[in-house]
Amino acid sequence: MKQPAAQSSDNAHTALVIFAKAPIPGEVKTRLCPPLTLDEAATLHGSFVLDMLERSKLAAAKLQLPFHRYLACAPSSELVFFKIMEERQGVRLLDQIGEDLGQRMHHIAAQLFAKGYTQVIIVGTDVPTLPLAVYQEALTLLGRSDVVLGPALDGGYYLIGLKQPAEKLFANVPWSTDQVLTVTQQNAKALGLSVGLTTAWRDVDTIEDLQSLITEGQEDDKKPKQDRVFSMRTAGTLQLLATRLKTR
C-alpha cells in the first residue's frame, strides 16, 4: 500500500502517531506478570492497541480533526498484526528505531517533519479510555506552545506534541520512572521551549493501575450503551481478568 506524503491542501499538517509494540507474550505488559500470565498480558495489550486506533479514528471523524494517523511499530512493521491494523484501521506504518524510547520518538518525529508535517503528536497505547477531547486539546495547545505533554498519573506522560525536531528534549530522561515528566519539562526549559499540558490521565503499567481500570470498566458497564467508553472487547477482557484474579 503506497503511503501518501503530507498534503498542504487538505489541512492535514499534523501527524498523529500511536506508539505500539506487537502483542507478543513476554514482550508486553510484563509488569503485570504475575498475577497475569504472559498470554493474558499480551491479549490485554493487543486490545489496548485496537482501542487507541479505533478511538483516534473516531476522534478524527467526530471532532473533524485535521491529522493523518500513523502506527509506530515494534519490533517490526512487517509483522502480520501490524499489517492487519494497516488494512483495517487505515493507518500508515512506521518502524520504531533507536536504543531507548526517547530515541525512537525523536526518530519518528524527525522522519515525519521531513515528510512535510508541521506538527507531530505521539500517543502511547496504555490509555484506552483517553477522552476524545484530549486530541483536540493537544492540537489547541500546540497552536500556542512549542511542546505539549499529556501527564500520566505515575509521573510519566502518555502524549507528546512537537512543532519541530528536538532530540535534546529526550536526552537523559530516566524512562519508566516517576521523573519522566519532570525531566522532560526541565529539558524543554533549558532549550527555551514553552510547554502546554493536557488533561492528566491514568495509564496502565502496574497491577494497581489494572485494578483501577477494572473498577472503571464495571462502572462504565452500567451506563447506556451509547455512553460507554470501553470497547466491548476490552470490557470483556477486563471482566474475564477480574474473575481470574479473584482466585490468584
Q: Output the tens digit of pLDDT for each of the chain's 248 residues.
A: 444 444 333 556 999 999 999 999 999 999 999 999 999 999 999 999 999 999 999 999 999 998 999 999 999 999 999 999 999 999 999 999 999 999 999 999 999 999 999 999 999 999 999 999 999 999 999 999 999 999 999 999 999 999 999 999 999 999 999 999 999 999 999 999 999 999 999 999 999 999 999 999 999 999 999 999 999 999 999 999 999 999 98
Q: And the C-alpha cell for 214?
A: 477494572
The answer to whether residue 8 sits within a structural domain is no
Q: What pTM did the predictor assign? A: 0.93
Question: Closest Cα to residue 7, out of 95, 123, 76, 92?
Answer: 92
Q: And the C-alpha cell for 218?
A: 464495571
The answer to whether residue 236 sits within a structural domain is no
With H, G, I as helix, E, B as strand and everything else as coil, classify residue 17. strand
Q: And the C-alpha cell for 100?
A: 531507548
DSSP class per residue in 21-68? E---TTTS-GGGTTTS-HHHHHHHHHHHHHHHHHHHHHHHHHTT--EE
The answer to whether residue 212 sits within a structural domain is no
What pLDDT, on the 0 to 100 scale, is given for residue 159? 98
**Structural domain range at position 64:** 14-204
Question: Closest Cα to residue 82, out of 115, 54, 46, 57?
Answer: 46
Q: Which letter, b or e, does each residue of 195-205 get, where b requires 16 or more Cβ atoms within 10 Å of its Cβ?
A: bbbbeebbbbb
Alpha helical stretches, state H, 90-231: 101-115, 133-142, 180-190, 207-220
What pLDDT, on the 0 to 100 scale, is given for residue 5? 41
The answer to whether residue 183 sits within a structural domain is yes
Q: Are 162 and 109 in contact (CB under 8 A)?
A: yes
The answer to whether residue 217 sits within a structural domain is no
What pLDDT, on the 0 to 100 scale, is given for residue 248? 87
The answer to whether residue 244 sits within a structural domain is no
Q: How open is the CA angle 79-84-87, to the nearest 5 degrees?
A: 130
The answer to whether residue 129 sits within a structural domain is yes
Q: And the C-alpha cell for 159?
A: 502524549
Q: How many CA atoms lie within 13 A of 79 on its CB side?
A: 18
The answer to whether residue 152 sits within a structural domain is yes
- What total number of domains does the chain contain? 1
* CATH code of residue 119: 3.90.550.10
